[in-house]
Amino acid sequence: MGKVIVVTSGKGGVGKTTSTANLGTALALLGKTVVVVDADVGLRNLDIVMGLESRIVYTSMDVIEKQCELGKALVKDRRVDGLTLLAASQKNNKDDIQPEQMKAICDKLKASHDFVLIDSPAGIERGFINASAGADEAIIVTTPDVSAIRDADRIIGLLQHAGIEPINLVLNRFSPQLVGNGSMMDQEDVLDILNIDLIGIVPEDTGVITSTNRGIPLVYEDASPGSQAYMRIARRLTGQRIPIPDLEQKGFLSNIVNWFTRNR
């Protein structure tokens, strides 16, 4: 029996889909069986971010409407063993699915996979409720800015209320340079506010943008800092104990740079 993890945030555009695609792929690269589920009905993107957009035949809506078997709706990612995608319907909207129907799909999927990762839509309404209905655990993605963190706190409250535990934090688009000169909150600031466990820090990385352009998740590219960050998070999800490296720049040179650029 595997586990269902909802990847969510509150605020839009902070990296939920990017994180779901990369963590799903990373877990499969580590030998796990994984389904990534797009729960953003009507605004699906996980398929295109993963480069699987031309291969979607059925969606979760077809499964719910009994147009096809669940297994048949799973699109196999041919680049790595053990990874499949369940797409969201693009022509329906969030109200066309009931939380119990999402939960039934999740329960079936986790019986035959190690990990089921759900890409949640932004917001606290129906889309989020559906996405988290079958979740055992949650990953909150946030960027280090005031609006994303405030919204993350709202979501954390709702998840705790629903009994979803643990709730782990991914701090995305972290800029060591901006943190170094005092214009971006660091992980301690964010954790002090949100009070949940940090599972990883993903730096701002242009590789995320180019890999998304190509439809090839960044984790296939070993050298990129973003890729390494996602691989470490995936290992932590499998239970390995890997310390979170300090990304902050504290070298002599950066101190000099900070001296001239701080307080912006």
Partner 1 sequence: MNISIKQLFGRKPKSSNIAKQRLKLVITQDRLNVDDRFMTRLHHELAEVLAKYFEFSVNSVQMSLKQEGNSYVLVADIPYKKLHDLNARQ
Ligand X SMILES: Nc1ncnc2c1ncn2[C@@H]1O[C@H](COP(=O)(O)OP(=O)(O)OP(=O)(O)O)[C@@H](O)[C@H]1O
Tell me if 149 contacts partner 1 by CB under 8 A.
yes
Nearer of residues 49 and 83 to ligand X, judged by Cβ: 49
Least distance from C-beta 22 to ligand X, angstroms? Answer: 9
Starting at the earlier edge strand, list the strands of the sheet with 167-174: 75-76, 83-86, 34-38, 115-119, 3-8, 137-142, 167-174, 197-203
Stretch that binds ligand X, among 99-107, 109-117, 180-188, 207-215 (CB under 6 A): 207-215
Q: 4, 5, 10, 17: which one contacts ligand X (CB under 6 A)?
A: 17
3-state DSSP call for residue 236?
helix
* Residue 121 · residue 131 · CB < 8 Å: yes
Tell me if 173 contacts ligand X by CB under 6 A.
yes
Interatomic CA distance for residues 242 and 231, integer angstroms:
11
Q: 28, 39, 156, 202: which one contacts ligand X (CB under 6 A)?
A: 202
Q: 4, 6, 14, 17: which one contacts Mg ion (CB under 5 A)?
A: 17
Selection from ligand X, partner 1, Mg ion, none that 127 binds (CB < 5 to 8 A by kind) is none
Interatomic CA distance for residues 258 and 104, integer angstroms:
53
Written as one string, the DSSP assignment of 157-181 is HHHHHTT---EEEEEEEE-HHHHHT
Least distance from C-beta 255 to ligand X, angstroms? Answer: 25
Smallest CA-to-CA distance from 46 within 15, 19, 17 is with: 17
Binding site for ligand X (CB under 6 A): 9, 12-18, 40, 121-122, 172-173, 202, 204-205, 208-209, 212, 226
Binding site for Mg ion (CB under 5 A): 16-17
